[in-house]
Structure formats: C-alpha cells, structure tokens
Amino acid sequence: MKYKFTLPFILFFLLLAAFLVKLSLKSGDDLFSKTQMIGIAVPDFSIPALSGGRLKSHDLQGKTTLVNFFASWCEACRYEQTALVMLAKKTGVAIYGITWKDDDAKTSAWLKKFGNPYKKIGTDHEGKAAITFGITGVPETFLIGTNGTVLFRQPGPIDQKAYDDLLKMLKK
C-alpha cells in the first residue's frame, strides 16, 4: 500500500524526460526524422563481410552508394527487397548491405530466396555499425555521395515515394 503513489510519479518523470528530449531537438527534427544524418560524413566503421574480408566505411567513398541495413527476420525488409533489386538493375548504383543482429546462414538463405542486390554485405552481429549510423531499426537505407556524406536517409522500408526520390537523385 505504501507504494501506491510510486507508479504515478515514475510515469510523470518519464513523460517529463520525453518532453525535455523533444524540446532539446532542433525544430522539425526528431529521433525518427528523415533528415537525421543528412550532410554528415559516413561514420567510421569496419565489420566482417558475409563473404569474407571486411566492409569498411572507406568502401563507401569515391562513388555514389546505397547502404541498406536489413535482417532475414525482418518482415519489412522482405517488402523492400524488390525495390532494392530494381534500383540496382535500373541505376547500377553500388548497394552495400549490413545485416543487423542476424545469423549468417539465415542471411544467405534469405538472399537466395528474395534476391541479392548487394555488392558487399557486412555482418553487424553486435549492432555497433548500426549505432554509429544512428539507425532506429531495420530496414533503414542511406544514400551516400561521392564525397562520403549522407545525401538521403530512409528509415523504414523503401516505399514508392522513397523509391521515386532515390531514382531521381541517382539519375542526376
């Protein structure tokens, strides 16, 4: 009975903390904003590659590339895989995949089933590369310019609007 008022106080302080975080963000920007990371250099990372070797931030520089975080257990990733395969065929853009907290054997089977548009796939078993990119979940896709900065970010699956936006940017 003495803890009867504890829960409302905890909830109040959690809501207060969320409110203060929202106030501290730039106007029009939030944790899930498509503009987060735009204009920022690709974070430094080096992770094992699915086929051996490593996928490094250096691999993404000097050419326009797409980086797609995905997982074989992700339903939304299945939805967008067709769009990624079409983008690769239509534009020739180099797409680099990063599996997030996934099993390598399951990833390989998933790629055989749904298509593999990736030039190289990094395996982010611990989620460290995901943290450096600030992803909010999978799937998440970044368009990287030739100078190594992020030009576009799509949190969530590539829908028709994002596909059209990417197509326009890649044809420039």
What the block records as the tokens of 108 is 């390989």
What is the identity of the amino acid at 46? S
Closest-CA residue to 73 (of 46, 107, 97)? 107
pLDDT for the residue numbered 14: 66
**How far apart (Å, rounded) are the C-alpha atoms in residues 145 and 127?**
24
pLDDT for the residue numbered 3: 61
- On whether the 34-171 domain is CATH 3.40.30.10, my answer is yes
* Phi, psi of 161, deg, nearest 5: -65, -45
What the block records as the tokens of 105 is 């054997």
pLDDT for the residue numbered 21: 59
pLDDT for the residue numbered 33: 53
**How far apart (Å, rounded) are the C-alpha atoms in residues 75 and 157?**
10
Which residues of the chain fall below pLDDT 50?
Answer: 26-32
pLDDT tens digits for 68-107? Answer: 999 999 999 999 999 999 999 999 999 999 999 999 999 9
Judge whether 50 and 108 are in contact, CB under 8 Å: yes
Cβ within 8 Å of residue 73, ≥6 positions away:
102, 106
3-state secondary structure of 160: helix
pLDDT for the residue numbered 13: 64
